[in-house]
Structure 1
Amino acid sequence: MHRATVSVSLILLGAAVYAGASEPDRRPDWRRFAEGFEIPSEGYCDQPYVVLTRDGAWLCVMTTGPGREGDRGQHIVATRSTDKGRTWTPLVSIEPSDGPEASWAMPLATPSGRVYVFYTYNRDNLRDNGALIGRRDRVDTLGYYAYKYSDDGGRTWSRERYYIPLRNLFFDYKNPLGKDVHLFWGIGKPIVDRGDVFLGAAKIAYFGYGFMPEDRGIILHSPNILTEPDPRKHRWVMLPEGDQGLGSVNGPVCDEHNLVALSDGTLYVMARTVEGHPVHYYSRDRGRTFTAPEYARYSPGGRLIRHPRACPRIWKTSNGRYLFWFHNNGHRWYSSGEAAGSRNLAWLSGGVEIGGKLHWSQPELVRYVDNFLEGCSYPDLIEQDGRYYLTATQKTEARVGEIPAEWLEMLWSQFERKEVARDGLAAEFRADSLRPGASLPMPALPNLASGGGFTLELRLRMTYADPNQILFESTREDGAGVRVRTVWCHALEISISDGERSFSWQSDPGLVGPDEPHSVAFIVDGGPKLLSVVVDGRLCDGGASDAR
């Protein structure tokens, strides 16, 4: 008979326990997108980015319009909140809805109190004659990189527009409108470091399948916008030097570049691809040159980070640490077709600097949308008075909600913490009480339909890892309950049933072998309807498998 030494911990997620209610009230969950405060818009809404004004108010700018993304009437607006997002002022048009398309607004608050907003502006009111993408209603990602300013906290905006000069990259000869019309856009917010301002953007070669079938990143740098009040005297440089831009490892699509500055002034850039992973780069000379593109990893030489064609947003917080929003799956396209739902769920990793490089924690779920196909993205982080808030949008609603500060500390402290989780512990069974056939009292599990959840953790050492060994079982005669067993390829499987419906999921293969101690935690989360597995402190994300 093969032997396995097993200890079991059962942690209930949340304080309330529901046992058997058929239609229970849904429990509060700060991660749930719908529980955030809504930011007003005109219907379609994108990139709700917030800066703090000198009087402590929140100033949000966004791209909005009455139709769908790219329709006529798309423009940029501003709104203010003085109660941390609970209520907002009526929208103020930075650019009018009856003018040329104005899109992808990014705000910058300066020490003087002035706020700039940068955006893509179809200044010449160009229309697609069929040469661009074969349709006549999408001209929101071309023209001039414009900016305006507000000196009264976003209540009013300058009449004049100012422009950041752009230069051509090597692929601009493919542009059907010619080299004098730039195809581009940007996400995120400009960053400030050592008196310099940097903002990320992407230049597009041409429009086609997937809208942007070939593009590369650029960084725009101003050394004097923070101190020079006359925008006509602002100096701008497009980086990196040369005509290559910032591309991907193995594909033509690389965009949505955004950046942070490390403690020594190094610039760190993250961008999305269609290769199942984001790419990142370092610049040690303030953007003049960058390292070759590499797929982002949790640590140098470590495990690859998985991410679809969606926004990979990074921030530096006031405590000198970092946060990274991504979607933690290996899909390679937008959230449609086979990749439908790939922007739901959203995860957050905490980052720390070690030896001049960023190391990312194991991720935790930070946002989910009830309708799985409507995942939220294009987030922004607000930090005020020691508290943290996230904005996000699923393109028809923009919302903002608080992230508990202690939850973020949990992410950042992963690099030092070694203890076993005990918060919410409902039951713990030591190895000497888990003899074959032993009967043990089980607490009532939370009702998953109400948003409840539980974690079942096994600490085990197996002499053999043959499949179909039952390691833990708590079931009724009708099969309702929980069972954990070994399966092929050195993995464990959990099965959950209510007597009528059943579900099972496995850890990633090759992680739970014989003759070594292991910790395997199955996390069953009823809010986002998520079952995840952590083996020896590592979240199972499917690895190189496109099927997981």
Structure 2
Amino acid sequence: MNSKTLSIDIEMIASMGLDVDDYSNLKDDWRHLKHGNVIPSKTYSDQPYVIKTDDGAWLCVMTTGVGREGEGGQHVISQRSTDKGKTWENIVELEQPGQIEASYAVLLKAPGGRIFCFYNHNTDNVREIIASKDAYPDGLCRRVDSLGYFVFKYSDDHGRSWSDKRYVVDIREMEIDRQNPYQGKIRFFWNVGKPFIHDGAAYVSVHKVGSIGKGFFTRSEGILVKSSDILTESDPANISWETLPDGDHGLRAPSGGGPISEEQSYSVMSDGSFFCVYRTVDGYPACSYSRDEGHTWSEPEYLSYTYKGKKVKNPRAANFAWKCSNGKYLYWFHNHSGKDYENRNPVWMLCGAEKESPEGLIIEWSQPEIIIYTDDTFIRMSYPDLVEENNDIYITETDKETARIHKLNPEFLNKLFNFDRVESIEQDGLILDITRVGINPSTVSCPKLPKFLVRDVTTFDYKGFDLRNGISLDFYVNLTSVLPGQNIFDNRTPEGRGFCVTTGDYENVRLTLNDGMTESCWSSDPGSIKPDHIHHVSIIIDGGPKVITFIIDGKFCDGGDDRQFGWGRFSPNLYDINGSDELTIGKDVDGSVKTVRIYNRAIMSSEAVGNFRATLKNL
């Protein structure tokens, strides 16, 4: 699943006595953050959202400033691109940078071509607000970018210029407003959710905030503001607004969850239902469905892969879903159950398909795939948008300093979109395929495995060159007992160089990687291997983000209730796992290994699921 072939001098490599095979087919990983095209900003950049204008350009709106997020001078800008985000025209400032904050903009295009930009505006120039003393010793917060008025400007020239006047969106007061420190006289709110159009009306997301304290927002819930005439009314001053849902509160976390329910992302399903997914501080994203155009919503629940099935994990980070033109959905999230803002690298994606349920249409999801990463694990990518153009899909994101746009690999997308149909053995990269039944024990010739790290012969200092290769192990195993230490695979030398797969301490399997200097280990989820049960196991060693994943019986090991992360990282200093020329299979196994496949690349989760489905039919 690589896209760009690198050029390197093979003759130079051979003259140095290095293995030409290690360099002969170098590819660059399209998922790496560096391959995104930069969207210009000032110092801070947030929410780089894009729409296609009627003259064929892409229009991007962004919150920016010369300081950090929330500092004075924060304001909204827009810019146009006519080459799919490779270059951008001059920045246009919707609000002049100054003391009054203008923040968190989203775009809506009417069928007639008029474009609306909605954002927060601290019109009254409030400089401090009452906050919890556990986070603010004097009881005052001086970050004031999430209060004031929800406003909009409009453009009739495809985003080249904007109206001088801004217009206030009338939002109904709710309980969360009345219970804030100002009893609603000052409103706290912001928005990251993109507007959408349904049945001639426009809907714009807003996240109401009830209080400020540790973690900044300490209570939140989501609403929609609906306009039935914004798409046709020529005078913006006459546009009318309705606040949804009905009643005195918005979308909240599921029963028993925390006080945070924010950053709602909406999709309109094929039957007209609204699907909404949003972040909590519970370790899981919440979701809800509306069957009456936003007036009422189903009881919020944590997002699950299948109907009433295993829950999806996500920390307090943006998790957005988009409906694509082919009817499938793509979902951005971070695949662990943290309860704070951390660990947004790598970015994971699910594909969704509509399914019938007793409650009506719902969305069921694929297993997770990595789509964007960078080598510094502290970098946090977030606040994405999706753009479709001529069957290609582009994703924007920001690390709060640099905004970028990425074209997703078409081959990757094709396999992901077919997640619910694939049931064949993946052949690409297959370098060992032993399909006979009952291997226990046996020894076979171990294929040469790709290296992860080699010398960069193009530099004067011959520094390390990260090949970003991957390896995948795919097998069936049936264990009579799951006592720890049973050796399923082993190609290690006496000094430990190579790899092995053993049973772990918690009814699971454990992978060990060793190059003679560096050793990395990771295990599948506790309880993932049961005695007297045929299990299909895929272990994916992804040398791009340096991530190890386990997929057992077609399900991604995400840690479950036992651990925050089901996936783990291996050392970027690991050279390779080529050990002995022989691979021992089933040594000391109380049971049998049924099939063995090794790939010289990191296969997709969807490909591992296809292997599971295909092999299951023949067992």
Provide the TM-score with structure 1 as the length reference.
0.92
Is 2:484 aligned against 1:467?
yes
Q: Contact (CA 8 Å) 1:72, 1:137: kept in 2 or not?
A: no
The 3 A distance-change label for structure 1 pair 13 and 390 is closer
| 1:537 to partner: Cα distance | 1.2
Q: Identify the residue that residue 291 of structure 1 maps to in structure 2.
A: 298
Is 2:472 aligned against 1:455?
yes
Q: 3-state SS of the aligned residue for 1:454?
A: strand
Inter-partner Cα distance in structure 2 for 1:130 and 1:284: 38
Inter-partner Cα distance in structure 2 for 1:409 and 1:109: 29
- Which structure 1 residue ranges, 4+ long, deviate > 3 Å from structure 2? 11-21, 23-27, 129-137, 430-435
Inter-partner Cα distance in structure 2 for 1:13 and 1:191: 33
Q: 3-state SS of the aligned residue for 2:502?
A: strand
* Structure 1 vs Structure 2 CA RMSD: 2.4
Inter-partner Cα distance in structure 1 for 2:120 and 2:350: 30
Q: Identify the residue that residue 353 of structure 1 maps to in structure 2.
A: 354
- Which of 516, 527, 536 is the matching residue for 1:510? 527
Is 2:505 aligned against 1:488?
yes
| 1:221 to partner: Cα distance | 1.2
Inter-partner Cα distance in structure 1 for 2:5 and 2:39: 30
| 1:280 to partner: Cα distance | 0.6
Q: Identify the residue that residue 568 of structure 2 maps to in structure 1.
A: none
Q: Identify the residue that residue 71 of structure 1 maps to in structure 2.
A: 71
- The superposition leaves residues 137-179 of structure 1 with CA deviations (integer Å, 9 ceiling, x where unpaired) of 4110001110001111111100011111112221323323442
Inter-partner Cα distance in structure 1 for 2:285 and 2:477: 35
Q: State the one-letter code of the partner of 1:417.
A: V
Q: Kindly report which structure 2 residues correspond to 1:408-427, keeping only aligned pairs within 5 A, or say none.
A: 408-427=413-432
Q: Contact (CA 8 Å) 2:5, 2:27: kept in 1 or not?
A: no
| 1:423 to partner: Cα distance | 1.6
- The superposition leaves residues 264-305 of structure 1 with CA deviations (integer Å, 9 ceiling, x where unpaired) of 111111111100001111111111111111111111110011
Q: Identify the residue that residue 263 of structure 2 maps to in structure 1.
A: 256
Q: Contact (CA 8 Å) 1:146, 1:162: kept in 2 or not?
A: yes
Q: Identify the residue that residue 322 of structure 2 maps to in structure 1.
A: 315
Provide the TM-score with structure 2 as the length reference.
0.82
Q: Contact (CA 8 Å) 2:446, 2:491: kept in 1 or not?
A: no
Q: State the one-letter code of the partner of 1:273.
A: T
Q: Identify the residue that residue 530 of structure 1 maps to in structure 2.
A: 547
Is 2:179 aligned against 1:174?
yes
The 3 A distance-change label for structure 1 pair 221 and 294 is same
| 1:367 to partner: Cα distance | 1.1
Q: State the one-letter code of the partner of 1:244.
A: H
The 3 A distance-change label for structure 1 pair 268 and 313 is same
Q: Identify the residue that residue 189 of structure 1 maps to in structure 2.
A: 194
Q: Kindly report which structure 2 residues correspond to 1:69-218, keeping only aligned pairs within 5 A, or say none.
A: 69-98=69-98, 100-128=100-128, 134=139, 137-218=142-223
- The superposition leaves residues 41-94 of structure 1 with CA deviations (integer Å, 9 ceiling, x where unpaired) of 001100000000112111100000000000011000001111111111121101
Inter-partner Cα distance in structure 2 for 1:283 and 1:129: 35
- Greater Cα offset, 97-106 or 27-36: 27-36
Give the unaligned 5+ runs of structure 2. 454-465, 566-619
Inter-partner Cα distance in structure 1 for 2:52 and 2:168: 24
Inter-partner Cα distance in structure 2 for 1:197 and 1:530: 42
The 3 A distance-change label for structure 1 pair 123 and 547 is closer
Q: Contact (CA 8 Å) 1:521, 1:534: kept in 2 or not?
A: yes
Inter-partner Cα distance in structure 1 for 2:305 and 2:437: 37
Q: 3-state SS of the aligned residue for 1:171?
A: helix
Q: Contact (CA 8 Å) 1:254, 1:273: kept in 2 or not?
A: yes
The 3 A distance-change label for structure 1 pair 422 and 15 is farther
| 1:227 to partner: Cα distance | 2.0
| 1:242 to partner: Cα distance | 1.1
| 1:513 to partner: Cα distance | 2.0
- Which of 551, 559, 562 is the matching residue for 1:545? 562
The 3 A distance-change label for structure 1 pair 275 and 443 is same
Q: State the one-letter code of the partner of 2:38.
A: E
Q: State the one-letter code of the partner of 2:53.
A: T
Inter-partner Cα distance in structure 1 for 2:58 and 2:278: 27
Give the unaligned 5+ runs of structure 1. 1-10, 336-341
Inter-partner Cα distance in structure 2 for 1:445 and 1:467: 29
Q: 3-state SS of the aligned residue for 1:414?
A: coil
Q: Contact (CA 8 Å) 1:12, 1:453: kept in 2 or not?
A: no
Inter-partner Cα distance in structure 2 for 1:264 and 1:130: 45
Q: Contact (CA 8 Å) 1:13, 1:452: kept in 2 or not?
A: no
Q: State the one-letter code of the partner of 2:104.
A: W
- The superposition leaves residues 301-331 of structure 1 with CA deviations (integer Å, 9 ceiling, x where unpaired) of 1001111000011111111211111100010
Inter-partner Cα distance in structure 2 for 1:65 and 1:351: 36
- Greater Cα offset, 243-252 or 275-284: 243-252
| 1:547 to partner: Cα distance | 4.6
Q: Percent identity?
A: 39
Kindly tell me the number of residue pairs found equivalent between the two proteins: 531
Q: Identify the residue that residue 41 of structure 2 maps to in structure 1.
A: 41
The 3 A distance-change label for structure 1 pair 480 and 81 is same
| 1:129 to partner: Cα distance | 5.9
Inter-partner Cα distance in structure 2 for 1:236 and 1:128: 29
- Which of 267, 272, 281 is the matching residue for 1:274? 281
Q: Identify the residue that residue 312 of structure 2 maps to in structure 1.
A: 305
Q: 3-state SS of the aligned residue for 2:175?
A: coil
- Greater Cα offset, 460-469 or 258-267: 460-469
The 3 A distance-change label for structure 1 pair 512 and 13 is farther
- Greater Cα offset, 166-175 or 148-157: 166-175
Inter-partner Cα distance in structure 2 for 1:461 and 1:475: 23
Q: Contact (CA 8 Å) 2:334, 2:345: kept in 1 or not?
A: yes
Inter-partner Cα distance in structure 2 for 1:441 and 1:381: 43
Q: Contact (CA 8 Å) 1:14, 1:453: kept in 2 or not?
A: no
| 1:434 to partner: Cα distance | 4.8
Inter-partner Cα distance in structure 1 for 2:348 and 2:389: 22
Inter-partner Cα distance in structure 1 for 2:3 and 2:125: 54
The 3 A distance-change label for structure 1 pair 20 and 159 is farther
Q: State the one-letter code of the partner of 1:102.
A: A
Q: State the one-letter code of the partner of 2:362.
A: K
Q: Identify the residue that residue 239 of structure 1 maps to in structure 2.
A: 244
Q: 3-state SS of the aligned residue for 2:267?
A: strand
- Greater Cα offset, 515-524 or 535-544: 515-524
| 1:496 to partner: Cα distance | 0.4
Q: 3-state SS of the aligned residue for 2:400?
A: coil
Q: Identify the residue that residue 344 of structure 2 maps to in structure 1.
A: 343
